[in-house]
């Protein structure tokens, strides 16, 4: 395998917007960082501007997103940022954030990876270190039926299969043959939710910053006009309907298997918490943030024991 150099960005770049769950308006600013720095967040809104390192050991919550914390300071919903950095090939960056949760943007990694590319990606005078496994690692969560396996390899590939036992969101598969394909094939794929979950999320004080443009909404059961209009009002829309394919008519799918591709995006981001890129072939069935991060911890344990 050809030796590769570590990379950072050429200059600062910022993105602003609203956090999906907290509704906080904030700005992320990516700064170049020296070789071997890794990916770190700096909470500039907190006294002393504490650092939160993007490492799986710092995961403290995985409900509706991956939250990391260090010394009592949190950063919510980091998975899309981390996936964007991996997709752009950025190893070292310091990310200033002036709130608890990064902007959701359109629910994908598209805008973030475009911002990173606009800043310029530069090589550094240090070799990129890959994590290499000597044997396969398997994770299984019996309650949710999730299984993730990685086989040793000299390159990186990923396959994700999802099945929600749904009539509108059929079982589907997404494949990433190379990280070189991430920007075009995976980054534009948005998060998704079932219509029936929206009210529950609102009741639990989540998706404060959500609007119907930040997610694909699947409608499993019949929804009457009155309920549709009530939801439209909650999200400050004049009206909303349902496409024949079973999704709200505020959007159309970028890919037929966009949900599976988004789950692949999430898994890339959660695996970035390993701290370094890994070589291997990953196959996942019904992944989610809890399983993804537990799997990453298991991989680290295996690497430490080899």
Active-site residues, by number, are 289
Residue 215 is predicted with a pLDDT of 81
Residue 120: inside a domain, yes or no? yes
Question: Could you list the residue range(s) of the whole structural domain that residue 123 is in?
Answer: 5-130
- The stretch 43-70 carries a mean pLDDT of 97
Give dist(CA 81, CA 149) in Å, integer: 24
Residue 224: inside a domain, yes or no? no
CATH number for the domain spanning 82: value is 3.30.230.20
Residue 208 is predicted with a pLDDT of 52
Residue 69: inside a domain, yes or no? yes
Q: What values do phi and psi take at 227, rounded to 5?
A: -70, -40
Residue 24 is predicted with a pLDDT of 85
Residue 217: inside a domain, yes or no? no
Whether 16 has a pLDDT exceeding 80, the answer reads yes
Per-residue confidence band for 38, with pLDDT thresholds at 50, 70 and 90: very high
Residue 151 is predicted with a pLDDT of 98
Residue 23: inside a domain, yes or no? yes
Number of domains in the chain: 1
Residue 28 buriedness (CB in 10 A; 0-12 / 13-18 / 19+): buried
Give the CA distances from residue 158 to residues 1, 208, 225, 295, in Å, rounded to whole numbers and listed in that order: 19, 32, 41, 14
Tens digits of residue pLDDT in 241-281: 787 778 887 788 999 999 999 999 999 999 999 999 999 99
- The stretch 161-173 carries a mean pLDDT of 94
Residue 32 is predicted with a pLDDT of 98
Structure tokens at 64: 């509706």
Tens digits of residue pLDDT in 201-231: 666 655 554 556 678 889 888 778 887 877 7
Residue 163 is predicted with a pLDDT of 96
Residue 200: inside a domain, yes or no? no
250 secondary structure, DSSP code: T
Residue 263: inside a domain, yes or no? no
Tens digits of residue pLDDT in 182-191: 999 999 999 9
Give dist(CA 258, CA 191) in Å, integer: 9
Which residue in 33, 39, 191 sits closest to 110, CA to CA?
A: 191
Give dist(CA 152, CA 280) in Å, integer: 5
Residue 3 is predicted with a pLDDT of 75
Give dist(CA 257, CA 262) in Å, integer: 9
Other Cβ atoms within 10 Å of 174 Cβ, number: 24
Structure tokens at 124: 């550094």
């Amino acid at each position: 395998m050809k030796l590769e150099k570590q990379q950072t960005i050429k200059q600062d770049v910022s993105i602003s917007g609203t956090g999906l769950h907290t509704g906080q308006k904030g700005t992320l600013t990516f700064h170049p960082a020296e070789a071997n720095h890794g990916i770190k967040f700096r909470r500039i809104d907190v006294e002393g501007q504490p650092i939160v390192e993007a490492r799986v050991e710092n995961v403290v919550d995985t409900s509706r997103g991956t939250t990391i914390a260090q010394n009592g300071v949190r950063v919510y919903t980091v998975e899309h940022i981390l996936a964007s950095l991996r997709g752009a090939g950025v190893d070292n960056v310091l990310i200033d954030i002036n709130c608890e949760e990064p902007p959701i943007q359109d629910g994908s990694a598209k805008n973030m990876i475009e911002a990173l590319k606009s800043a310029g990606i530069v090589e550094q005078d240090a070799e990129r270190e890959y994590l290499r496994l000597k044997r396969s690692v398997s994770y299984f969560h019996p309650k949710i039926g999730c299984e993730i396996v990685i086989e040793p390899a000299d390159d990186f590939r990923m396959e994700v299969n999802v099945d929600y036992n749904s009539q509108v969101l059929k079982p589907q598969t997404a494949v990433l043959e190379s990280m070189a394909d991430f920007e075009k094939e995976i980054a534009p794929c948005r998060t998704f939710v079932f219509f029936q979950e929206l009210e529950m999320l609102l009741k639990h004080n989540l998706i404060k910053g959500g609007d119907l443009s930040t997610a694909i909404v699947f409608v499993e059961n019949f929804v009457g006009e009155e309920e549709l209009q009530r939801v439209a009002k909650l999200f400050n829309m004049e009206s909303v309907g349902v496409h024949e394919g079973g999704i709200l008519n505020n959007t159309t799918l970028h890919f037929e298997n966009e949900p599976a591709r988004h789950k692949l995006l999430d898994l890339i981001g959660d695996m970035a918490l390993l701290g370094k890129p890994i070589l291997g072939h990953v196959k996942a069935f019904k992944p989610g943030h809890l399983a993804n991060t537990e799997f990453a911890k298991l991989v680290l344990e295996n690497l430490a024991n080899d």
